[in-house]
Structure 1
Amino acid sequence: MTDAGGLDDPARLDALARTGLGPRADPAFDRFTAMVRKVLNVPVALVSLVDERRQVFPGACGLGEPWMGERQTPLSHSFCRHVVISGRPLVVTDARSDPRVAGNAAITDLGVVGYAGMPLTDADGLVLGSLCAIDTEPRRWTTGELELLADLAAACSDSLRLRIATHAATRRERVAAVALDRTQLLLRASSTLADTSTVADVTAAVRELVVGSLDPDYVGISLIDPAGRISLRSGDTLPPGVADRWNRYPATARTPSALAAVAGRPVLLPDLAAVHEHTPDAAGTFREMGWQSGVSVPLPGPSGPIGALTFVWKQPYELDVFDQAVLAALAGYIGQALQRADYLDSRERVAELLQQAMLSDLPPAAPLELAARYEPAARGEHVGGDWYDAVRVAPDHLALVVGDVTGHDMRAAGQMGRLRSMLRAFVVDRHEPPSALLRRLDGAMQLLSDNTPATAILAYVLSTATGHRLQWANAGHPSPLLLAADGTVDTLTGRDILLGVPGRWPRTNHTRTLPPGSTVLFFTDGLVETRTDLLDDRKRQLRDVLTGLTTAPLPALLDEVFTRLTGNKHEDDVALLAVRVPGK
């Protein structure tokens, strides 16, 4: 047995902690005290574990109230502390006259007079406490009694050592379980974040990832904006007032996110004292939200931090080295996802601007009515090869175009822009029938080795004193529909081969008189073609929808057609163009 050294010896205190015992009854140690009380015929027996400020009784028998309920006393009431400090048994016949313990509060408060305590040790010989027998009268302890108490103390020490070993094994299992959980978290993060495309996607994904793992009360993502300020991107889960307060603020503020983003290192806040010391500007929000701890780690970018990832908890939470490494790895995944989202967002903005630039405003068409709508595919880069165009060639001559280049990406949009520009130039410069201009377009495509398949309709609405006439040529495009004022719907048939096919192909003009109040609807195949429905069924559905829209304003007609046919979910680009002639 070694000398205990002191009550505050770190190794001894660590061993005490690893027993997992405290001021609570433990059945195994209560049985030890029951045996001591019985075999030594004493009124009180205790298993006492002593730390630097108190003694606790996981085993107790015969102790009066309130001590039996509390299962602890301060060191002012402890005889067992002498056993721990000396590392040897303490035997007292009459405590009232023994100079080693005279004056101890346990004499008057607990009635301790006779006392015999044997050391309880761990596997390294560190004295953790005492197994003691207590009498309320002076007691001369016999050698046999002390030997019996020492044997019971040895057995009790074995139980303590088993507790410590079990605790160590349990802790290893717990550490292994936590390590597995954190590893799985990172594996899920690597795949989940790879599927995100916006900052909102990333934020939502991170919230889902940490549920059941780190379990923070709040997940915050803040980014450094172009002006160098901190921009909160996860305020949707905060009360509006709190979100507004931190929506955008100077990077010099002493908040977890600002410090992590600017300094480029983790900010660890295990409790409120740390929050007040290191991030005083955030202390008010922590109090308001009931948060007690937090951590913020920088989000890495190619040229330094781009922001910070912040977790907060409603209880003190101290991250170990492993958790800090996990958060750093998670922040790396998030940083990559956010950079990808920014890149995709930039491409989308460019694509939208490109599409808008290529879809010119509709010209004045009176007395005709004219409306158009374009919707990019619900996938891809939100830009594609569908287009519409309208050119007022003369007061009595309106040219209309609807076309579709294969694809719904930037390449298709670029090809569409070239075809649209060439055909528009032909319409303005060459006063020729639609078929002739489509032949010119086909020839230009072949001359320029631009063989991307495309479809198009070029139509003229020709107005005379007696009425309106439609002349068109169709290069492989879905046939437009003619909606009469009485609700009947006709298909404007007649279609030649699509554009971009090598060779010289015939192009045919078609003509139809437009009845007063009638409407012609041009559309691209994204309106009626799906992967699951029969094309003929979709065409019938379109005709049925049009039947009830004879008097609807054209913008409303296009909205209704688009919504009813697609449900606002469509796999391909959709372009719609409608023209209505005046009624009688």
Structure 2
Amino acid sequence: MNDRGLGDRSRLDALARTGLGPVPDPVFDRFTAMVRTVLRVPVALVSLVDESRQVFPGACGLGEPWLGRRQTPLSHSFCQHVVISAEPLVVTDARTDPRVTGNLAIADLGVVGYAGMPLTDADGHVLGSLCAIDTEPRQWTPAELDLLADLAAACSDSLRLRIATRSAGRRAEDAHAALDRTQLLLRASVALARTATVTDVTDAVRTLVGGTLDPDYVGISLLEPDGRISLQSGESLPAAVAGRWQRYAGDVLTPSGLAAATGRPVLLPDLATVAARVPDALATFREMGWESGASVPLPGPAGPIGALTFVWKQRFEVDVLDEAVLAALAGYVSQAVQRADYLFSREQVAAVLQRAMLSDLPDAAPLQLAARYEPAARGEHVGGDWYDAVSVGPGELALVVGDVTGHDMRAATTMGQLRSMLRAYVIDRHEPPSALLRRLDSAMQVLGDRIPTTAILAYVQSVPGGHRLQWANAGHPPPLLLEADGTVSPLPGRDILLGVQRRMPRTNHTRDLPPGSTVLLYTDGLIETRHDVIDERKVHLRRTLSGLAGAPLPELLDTVHHRLAGNDHEDDVAMLAVRTPGPAV
């Protein structure tokens, strides 16, 4: 191994100018926390490598005694390979990878899977690595490596800002300004990590820079696949201006378009520079009373994804320190924008998945039937609650409502499997509901799907003189019977939930349904919250139902959901209602 890369004097000088060592730094600890969360790894490090050791100014998940020391000798350093090669190092299993098999970090720190991206200064010296570490073999996906590379680019910007700050911060006022900007970036790393939409990102940036750079306008524009530029922050502009720049060709010379096209900052200290460099934007500058501006590219995996733009109503000349701040801020903004796009796409996929899993209701005449599903207001907008209804023969209808613990993609996947199995049992096995729930429970135990699950399986059967309900309840909230006169009563009888213990006894229950009565099956998200007393919520539900005896079933479900769950419910909600024909006239 050639150590001249580690001992290069200019690189070591740049490393010294960071002023970082084996001491925690809040900015770089924040980066490692982001890596650990986004990539779901046990350990993440900002590692700076000199001639004889590596130090960790940023660390998350590192165990003792290493966390207290914040450094290791090079015998324990994977990151030295990143520095020497100036390239990412991606290791699936360090125990079998010839590049690192003899590294002592494998045994002493438990490093097995490793992905490290170079951290560079303004001159391109590789100072260290932003790395994600797994204690098990890890197949790193391209998306994970792209995210890690983008975070490393933003982390490098913070290193450059720190070097620039320490070099320029000789006077007290310079030190104060540098502190303000460093704090701005620290606040940005926190504030932007909480955003979920591009609008959230724009609002957060406006708030962050209001007392420091104090621009008149903050804009985010994105580069579309066809090369056009789309304005994402038009709501803060007059409608005519926003409409003019909502979407335009990439060869139109604007600050955002030029920064996105070239991948370099566009600094416009006065109107003369605006006229010379971005003449297509000059009329808008004059219309809005703007005198200066700056636009920096938003870095992405394959090049700029857009631009972050600031304009001022007075002359504003961006200095070296300001430019470093804007570049670092653009890195944070880029990550937030890409995460917002990812979340939106994931929510769209989740919604389609959920709709596909919840089948259309059958024609149950003369019975009336209605259902409603609402995912939790927070999370992945998909969950483990479900309903189902199956016509199993002349005059017989099977109803199911169930709840797999959790409201995420894993819960939804398990829900889909259980729903399909139970539906198959209902169609194939002409057995009482308790027997079918026992079959489902046994299948869960054998297949390893032991996520706690509650469910009700009920049959509505035509009998002489009316209809009868037969049901079995596996740990689920009891259904409610709403009679035509407004009387509401729970249908009791509940056995242990599914997925807990094999061969548990299960009981059938039977109730004749009066003409014009409604049975409501629902999941616990309708009545359980972290703040309210559950018994009070149950009373509230019964009182609400009491006044809806004559309401059409879709209206009944909408009203119940509005009054009990609202728009900010904490858990998924599924409801299924069936109504028997009224008395013959």
Using structure 2 for the length normalisation, give the TM-score. Answer: 0.69
Q: Is 1:451 matched with 2:450? A: yes
Equivalents in 1 of 2:372, 2:226: separation in Å? 37
Instruction: Identify the range of structure 1 (343-352 vs 474-483) with the bigger mean alpha-carbon deviation.
Output: 343-352
* Structure 2 partner of 1:437: 436
Could you tell me which amino acid in structure 1 is paired with residue 381 of structure 2? H
Q: How does 1:313-462 map to 2 (within 5 A)?
A: 313-462=312-461
Equivalents in 1 of 2:555, 2:173: separation in Å? 63
Equivalents in 2 of 1:341, 1:190: separation in Å? 15
Equivalents in 2 of 1:360, 1:493: separation in Å? 27
Question: What is the CA distance between 1:411 and its match in structure 2?
Answer: 0.7
* Structure 2 partner of 1:575: 574
Equivalents in 2 of 1:320, 1:294: separation in Å? 13
* Structure 2 partner of 1:514: 513
Question: What is the CA distance between 1:173 and its match in structure 2?
Answer: 3.6
- Answer yes or no: is the 8 Å Cα contact 2:300–2:334 preserved in 1: yes
Q: How does 1:182-221 map to 2 (within 5 A)?
A: 182-221=181-220
- Answer yes or no: is the 8 Å Cα contact 1:451–1:502 preserved in 2: no
Gapped regions of structure 1 (runs ≥ 5): 1-169
Equivalents in 2 of 1:216, 1:463: separation in Å? 72
Question: SS of 1:259's equivalent?
Answer: helix
Equivalents in 2 of 1:434, 1:342: separation in Å? 44
* Structure 1 partner of 2:240: 241
Q: Is 1:463 matched with 2:462? A: yes
Could you tell me which amino acid in structure 1 is paired with residue 242 of structure 2? A
Question: What is the CA distance between 1:366 and its match in structure 2?
Answer: 2.0
- Answer yes or no: is the 8 Å Cα contact 1:372–1:558 preserved in 2: yes
For these two proteins, the number of residue pairs brought into alignment is 415
Label 1:366 to 1:315 Cα distance change in 2 as closer, same or farther (>3 A). Answer: same
Question: SS of 1:365's equivalent?
Answer: coil
Question: What is the CA distance between 1:339 and its match in structure 2?
Answer: 1.9
* Structure 2 partner of 1:180: 179
Equivalents in 2 of 1:395, 1:277: separation in Å? 81
Residues 411-459 of structure 1 deviation map (CA, whole Å, 9 limit, x = unaligned): 1111000000001111111122211111111111112122111010011
Equivalents in 2 of 1:265, 1:434: separation in Å? 67
Q: Percent identity?
A: 74
* Structure 1 partner of 2:546: 547
Question: What is the CA distance between 1:465 and its match in structure 2?
Answer: 5.2
- Answer yes or no: is the 8 Å Cα contact 2:441–2:502 preserved in 1: no
* Structure 2 partner of 1:300: 299
* Structure 2 partner of 1:287: 286
* Structure 2 partner of 1:529: 528
Residues 132-185 of structure 1 deviation map (CA, whole Å, 9 limit, x = unaligned): xxxxxxxxxxxxxxxxxxxxxxxxxxxxxxxxxxxxxx9944333322221111
Question: SS of 1:457's equivalent?
Answer: strand
Equivalents in 2 of 1:465, 1:265: separation in Å? 81
Could you tell me which amino acid in structure 1 is paired with residue 299 of structure 2? P
Q: How does 1:10-159 map to 2 (within 5 A)?
A: none
Question: What is the CA distance between 1:394 and its match in structure 2?
Answer: 2.5
Equivalents in 2 of 1:247, 1:367: separation in Å? 54
Question: SS of 2:564's equivalent?
Answer: helix
Question: SS of 2:315's equivalent?
Answer: coil
Question: What is the CA distance between 1:294 and its match in structure 2?
Answer: 0.9
- Answer yes or no: is the 8 Å Cα contact 1:467–1:514 preserved in 2: yes
* Structure 2 partner of 1:252: 251
Could you tell me which amino acid in structure 2 is paired with residue 277 of structure 1? A
Could you tell me which amino acid in structure 1 is paired with residue 409 of structure 2? M
Instruction: Identify the range of structure 1 (460-469 vs 548-557) with the bigger mean alpha-carbon deviation.
Output: 460-469
Q: RMSD of the TM alignment (CA)?
A: 1.6
Equivalents in 1 of 2:579, 2:273: separation in Å? 71
Question: What is the CA distance between 1:566 and its match in structure 2?
Answer: 2.1
Gapped regions of structure 2 (runs ≥ 5): 1-168
Residues 466-515 of structure 1 deviation map (CA, whole Å, 9 limit, x = unaligned): 21111111111100100111111010111111111222011211111111
Equivalents in 2 of 1:265, 1:240: separation in Å? 29
Question: What is the CA distance between 1:546 and its match in structure 2?
Answer: 0.8
Question: What is the CA distance between 1:206 and its match in structure 2?
Answer: 0.7
- Answer yes or no: is the 8 Å Cα contact 2:467–2:580 preserved in 1: yes
Equivalents in 2 of 1:288, 1:183: separation in Å? 34
Equivalents in 1 of 2:267, 2:463: separation in Å? 80
Could you tell me which amino acid in structure 2 is paired with residue 565 of structure 1? L
Instruction: Identify the range of structure 1 (271-280 vs 401-410) with the bigger mean alpha-carbon deviation.
Output: 271-280
Question: SS of 2:424's equivalent?
Answer: helix
Equivalents in 1 of 2:274, 2:445: separation in Å? 70
